[in-house]
Amino acid sequence: MEGQTGKADTGVTMGSKKRSARAREVADFKSQLENGLGGLDDLFANEERREQKREAGHDAAMRWKSCEKKNRYATRDEAEEARKWCEDRGTRGLEIYRCEYCGGWHLTSHPFE
């Protein structure tokens, strides 16, 4: 989209180049630091909350991927029977593992190293 000057409008607004406007911005920033509004403590607290939210989402995704979407077997023997049943029908290379989330047993087509 073009503005009145005929140049492309990028949607980015630039601050004033006047010294008085810059001085006002600096003074506002310093007052926020002194009043605890937007200071480094807030910045670090926001970052910590963001990181905790990201980790919780990652943990939920891993639980879904490795446990919740799979069949759960109470014993290793049950899982062995299921693997044999799959092999009899053409699915080869399944591994059995104990789930760290539910404590049950699952099958996976991705072997552990």
CA distances (Å), origin 54, targets 40, 51, 74 = 21, 5, 32
Residue 49 CA to residue 40 CA, distance in Å, equals 14
Tens of pLDDT along 21-54? 888 888 887 777 766 655 566 778 888 899 999 9
Question: Do 16 and 23 form a contact (C-beta atoms < 8 A)?
Answer: no
Residue 19 CA to residue 96 CA, distance in Å, equals 69
Residue holding tokens 């503005």?
3
Where helices occur in the chain by DSSP H, the ranges are 19-35, 40-63, 76-88
Q: How confident is the model at residue 1 (pLDDT cuts 50, 70, 90)?
A: very low
Q: 112: left (phi > 0), else alpha (psi -120 to 50), else beta?
A: beta
Residue holding tokens 């759960």?
72
Which residues, in sequence order, are CB contacts of 94 under 8 Å at separation 6+?
A: 83, 86, 87, 107, 108, 109
Question: Do 109 and 82 form a contact (C-beta atoms < 8 A)?
Answer: no
Q: How many CB atoms lie within 10 A of CB 101?
A: 14
Tens of pLDDT along 65-111? 889 999 999 999 999 999 999 999 999 899 999 999 999 999 998 87
pLDDT of residue 86: 94
pTM above 0.85, yes or no: no
